[in-house]
């Protein structure tokens, strides 16, 4: 595990690896060359894939990272991510991607506020069945303090009072597949950019009846549905659940259509 040493000069780390851990100096140099790499996800991944020995030893790792970066790109948030090969966590139970969330701010330097990763066998140690999971731990006190300060600043600047967030739009699909999952991510990203409160179904194989149950239970007023037919035509189905009306809307007109429907609701 190298993450405790990230603030040390590489020569100090190498010295400990060779002198204290007994690693061959050539092996330590090869590790050092890799763990000091950090950068834009897709560019760094493409660079690493030129290393045939690394590709051979990583198995499906490259394919999984490529899929992850595609999902992040579909949600228009890939620019907020950095691919850092020095990151290491819990090598005895993490089996896939690991991550840290770092607050970036001009006013404060908070550092990591959350971290976690994929572990396929940890739950099985405590039960009779294997349950692949992705887990994350939060520095909850730090996060709540930051959120509270941000809310107070916003209220002081704009006036009014702090309101509990609600969801106005749910984005779902009647059928399965990565193509539709990417489209749901793309739609949600465009709605978030327009300050429309929405959420989506992240499942590769969503069930329409469960999605409708969830929307009803949460009292979400609008439902956006995108299926294979809609993709081909460049449209979505926009359902106004309160008025029981359905509108076929072009993707580029979706934001305006949603805001028109929500305006009297939020007035």
Cα gap 92→125, rounded to integer Å: 12
Burial call 6-42: b when 16+ CB within 10 Å, e when fewer: eeeeeeebbeebbeeeebeeeebeebeeebeeeeebb
Cα gap 103→139, rounded to integer Å: 12
Cα gap 226→81, rounded to integer Å: 27
Of the candidates 224, 231, 173, the residue with the CA atom closest to the CA atom of residue 202: 173
Cα gap 82→38, rounded to integer Å: 7
Distance of CA 109 to the CA centre of its chain: 22
Tell me the sheet residues that pair with 52.
Answer: none
Phi, psi of 118 (to 5 degrees): -95, 130
Cα gap 222→241, rounded to integer Å: 6
Note the maximum CA span of the chain.
Answer: 73
DSSP 3-state helix, strand, coil percentages of the chain (rounded to 5)?
50, 20, 35
Distance of CA 131 to the CA centre of its chain: 20
Per-residue pLDDT of the chain (267 residues; tens, 9 = 90+): 344 444 567 788 888 888 888 888 888 888 888 888 899 999 999 999 998 888 888 878 889 999 999 999 999 999 999 999 888 877 778 888 899 998 877 665 567 889 999 988 888 888 888 888 999 888 888 888 787 777 778 777 877 655 545 899 999 999 888 999 999 999 999 999 999 999 998 888 889 999 999 998 888 999 999 999 999 999 999 999 888 899 999 999 999 999 999 987 655
Of the candidates 78, 75, 137, the residue with the CA atom closest to the CA atom of residue 112: 137
Tell me the sheet residues that pair with 177.
Answer: none
Tell me the sheet residues that pair with 3.
Answer: none
Cα gap 197→219, rounded to integer Å: 13
Cα gap 42→248, rounded to integer Å: 35
User: According to the model, what pLDDT value does residue 266 have?
Assistant: 59
């Amino acid at each position: 595990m190298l993450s405790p040493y990230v603030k040390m000069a590489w020569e100090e780390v190498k010295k400990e690896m060779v002198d204290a851990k007994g690693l061959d100096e050539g092996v330590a140099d090869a590790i050092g060359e890799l763990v000091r790499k950090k950068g834009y996800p897709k560019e760094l991944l493409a660079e690493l894939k030129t290393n045939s020995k690394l590709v051979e030893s990583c198995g499906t790792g490259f394919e999984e990272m490529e899929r992850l970066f595609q999902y992040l790109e579909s949600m228009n948030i890939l620019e907020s991510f950095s691919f850092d090969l020095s990151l290491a966590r819990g090598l005895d139970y993490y089996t896939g991607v690991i991550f840290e969330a770092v607050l970036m701010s001009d006013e404060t330097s908070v550092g990591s506020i959350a971290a976690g990763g994929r572990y396929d066998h940890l739950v099985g140690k405590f039960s009779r069945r294997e349950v692949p999971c992705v887990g994350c731990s939060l520095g909850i006190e730090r996060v709540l303090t930051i959120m509270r300060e941000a809310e107070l600043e916003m209220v002081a600047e704009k006036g009014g009072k702090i309101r509990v967030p609600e969801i106005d739009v749910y984005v779902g699909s009647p059928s399965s597949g990565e193509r539709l999952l990417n489209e749901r991510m793309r739609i949600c990203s465009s709605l978030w950019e327009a300050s429309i409160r929405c959420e989506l179904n992240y499942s590769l194989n969503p069930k329409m009846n469960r999605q409708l149950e969830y929307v009803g239970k949460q009292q979400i007023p609008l439902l956006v549905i995108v299926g294979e037919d809609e993709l081909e035509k460049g449209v979505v189905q926009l359902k106004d659940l309160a008025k029981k009306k359905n509108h076929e809307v072009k993707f580029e007109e979706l934001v305006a259509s949603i805001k028109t429907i929500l305006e009297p609701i939020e007035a």
